[in-house]
Structure 1
């Protein structure tokens, strides 16, 4: 065993001893700071580079993380492993982030630091753009997503939902009123538009992609103000557009004077560095870019970001200020500390790694039974979810009930289609709350119950 591995294993044992001494609650309150690199080198009579390599070895396994100008800390979920002894139902329906891997103590520290650093701002109303220091930080972060824009085109919103409401209400330079959505799409979007009395229409998107003929017809003949679209990890299908499809969509938007609202809500789960957002190919100011922090952190943070073309920024800011003056300064300040300290980058790496490993297990199960049609036709997606296409006569209610009896909770795509529209019958499987070691078991149960219902065995 190499020297750095011996040091790393010794640190792992030390962390576990500290946990047992302090107890989990004290650990959550205080956290565990690890020895400085030079101290570690002196302790183990090794070079500084060997000590650094030991920490890097632990960091690659999500057991520690580095905070710039502060040092290394133990990850709260320090064992870094999945839950082998998971006893609860296998929940393939929940789309919430995995609470078992959220670093509560880290974020609590950020909230405390935000309150200390931003005392004055807490007693003032902010600007319609958001906390300036956070926006400048997001400019650098968004460059990693290939989203480049000046600070005045960034807006911090109370979740992406608020950004969508503002966009639906405000006038656009094209003078049009109707909003086009994908079918299926984000399940709250149609009801949001109807509640705001904004006319809405839809275009079908299947596992094969958009209905391009219908899309161009509606762009050319309709009164389409903007098209709300999820190019990456579509919800609920899980599929992503190809580069050719993204460029084709932008060309159509330019030709027919339509804006595109890109909801990139799972950008942080992208592993393919060549998968850039629609925004990165826009040269004519046609794309509005939306990003949420609900999936990578937690929904209660209520932080979304909108990047507007210059021609829309003034109107968007005015409408947003009318709705809520400013997004929570405390949430913004806490997120700023979390990003600036390097915690967000580390947490994103952990989540990305875990979700990718879980999706790989799903793909392995799908590939293991090529004769089973739902598995054979399921898309091999990234992100956090995929779908299983089902026969039109499959009794979904019965299937869900039988799965639940066997400890598996699954969802369907029904709520993602507005009432009265054509629906494709599918199970929606989300892996964010299913341990990797149990995915095979869950997929086996799902297959067995589908087969029984297909064969008419409904006892």
Structure 2
């Protein structure tokens, strides 16, 4: 038996005989490596494997812990209430349906699956996406769509590549999805921020930055913003596009949560764009499964060829099996049925969150809770570092993300805390939110 397998078996056996109990902290990587006379990397691989199988979970800067026992409905007993995760709830992912799509994809893509494919994307998927995008009020041609291996790859390429406007600096909302911030730092991309609170951005400040800031593109999440949950109005979207056209700034629209929107008239920025300034990004990781690693972009003609050149020498092409499976799933109509059910699921969870917050008022806590999506947000009056509240969160079986990493260094603060309902069901929300409010209120 390999050392990796020994460690996995050791932990699973101790969970089974209840030597390791729910929420118990596992030995550190170094301690476990010493116990098994192996490397820290081997232990980390074993821990990651068990984490993927929902046997253990991690808390940043703290360690790995045993997951609680599950009941017949799949709910965790005596376990952490997860207000941390940004991944979809695995209990509702249509694995069985998607398995059929994988099998069908193997038949349809037999000729190309073991050869080098088109860097732009599988033609079957591009044609399917052209039709699918009409549901989002996106009218485009398949020839303008490019497929990447997840949205993170798309953001990384956009940070690195030159733009037709000849500008160098990326402007991002503050706070914003931390994957974008990581790409900026790792690519050494010049970047500045603009504050986005529960009421959006200051458009006078935005115009000033567009005018003086040498802005290559402005990265924004217009609806169900991560982490604040805020959405722009139609008038705000139109003003943003007016300024982009006036100052020759491209807009990167990350529409990650489009499938959760309950308002069919809430059109994306791309819908209003008449000057080819919007780069539209649509990933299926939040609504379907992160491991699919398929993202679609709609690129202006002036940008597309440069983007494809960078994409080709990054990973040549995105998994044909993933592309084909998604094409079958979208084209069969199964996604539409799943989309309706998952939209209702998160609309209900946000409704319960709104109700629970109303029933537990707390001075000094300002909430933004949208009608759907994954993320709500609470703002504290006092700057409250995460490591100050983490012990109380842990004691009350609550997982929460340290939202300070959603900021550039010069904007970093501890006023905002993201509250995710992606993994927390209605009962967990009702049980966990009053505890969270009491904890935050104590330090506010």
What is the TM-score normalised by the length of structure 2? 0.80
Asked whether 1:165 is paired with 2:156, we answer yes
| 1:398 counterpart residue number | 388
114-123 or 283-292, larger mean C-alpha shift: 114-123
**Where in structure 2 are the equivalents of 1:148-297 lying within 5 Å?**
148-297=139-288
1:109 to 100, 103, 106: 100
Change in CA separation of 1:318 and 1:433 when aligned onto 2, cut-off 3 Å: same
| 1:49 counterpart residue number | none
Asked whether 1:435 is paired with 2:425, we answer yes
Deviation at 1:116, TM superposition (A): 2.0
Deviation at 1:250, TM superposition (A): 0.3
| 2:368 counterpart residue number | 379
Change in CA separation of 1:319 and 1:452 when aligned onto 2, cut-off 3 Å: closer
| 2:19 counterpart residue number | none
Q: Deviations over 1:47-78 (max 9, x none)?
A: xxxxxxxxxxxxxxxxxxxxxxxxxxxxxxxx
SS in 2 for 1:130: coil
Contact 1:134–1:332 under 8 Å retained in 2: yes
| Cα distance between partner residues in 1 of 2:442 and 2:318 | 51
**Where in structure 2 are the equivalents of 1:70-149 lying within 5 Å?**
86-149=77-140
| Cα distance between partner residues in 2 of 1:263 and 1:155 | 14
| 1:363 counterpart residue number | 354
Contact 2:360–2:434 under 8 Å retained in 1: no
The two structures, once aligned, show a CA RMSD in angstroms of: 1.8
SS in 2 for 1:206: coil
| Cα distance between partner residues in 2 of 1:84 and 1:190 | 34
| Cα distance between partner residues in 1 of 2:414 and 2:208 | 22
| Cα distance between partner residues in 1 of 2:152 and 2:437 | 36
Contact 1:84–1:437 under 8 Å retained in 2: no
| Cα distance between partner residues in 2 of 1:82 and 1:262 | 38
| Cα distance between partner residues in 2 of 1:400 and 1:243 | 39
| Cα distance between partner residues in 2 of 1:423 and 1:212 | 22
Q: What is the aligned residue count?
A: 372
Contact 1:412–1:426 under 8 Å retained in 2: no
SS in 2 for 1:97: coil
The structure with more radius of gyration = 1
SS in 2 for 1:280: helix
